[in-house]
Amino acid sequence: MNPRALNLPQSFDEIDFKDLVKLSLVVLLLAVIGVQVWWFLKQRYVEKKYEPVIEILDELAKAPGTNASFRNG
């Protein structure tokens, strides 16, 4: 395969930094979205895992003289 067929820049002056900035922003955006999806799935797993404990704590919080709640809402 001929490396010249790829149309790669031959010198540092030929590099278009606007494309590099766009590429880095796209990679950063995808990384942020990936972390958000991972965090959401992790939170959902933890909530399902501790659902019985949360229900018991909610029942205990309904006792007279308490105004605690163990859920957001």
The pTM assigned to this predicted structure is 0.52
> For every one of its 73 residues, what pLDDT tens digit does the chain have, with 9 covering 90 and above?
666 677 777 777 777 788 889 999 999 999 999 999 999 999 888 888 888 888 888 888 777 766 666 555 4
- The rounded distance, in Å, linking the Cα atoms of 30 and 34 is 6
Distance from C-alpha of 20 to C-alpha of 3, rounded to nearest angstrom? 20
The answer to whether residues 50 and 59 touch, using CB atoms and an 8 Å cutoff, is: no
* Residue 62, Ramachandran bin (φ over 0: left; ψ between -120 and 50: alpha; else beta): alpha
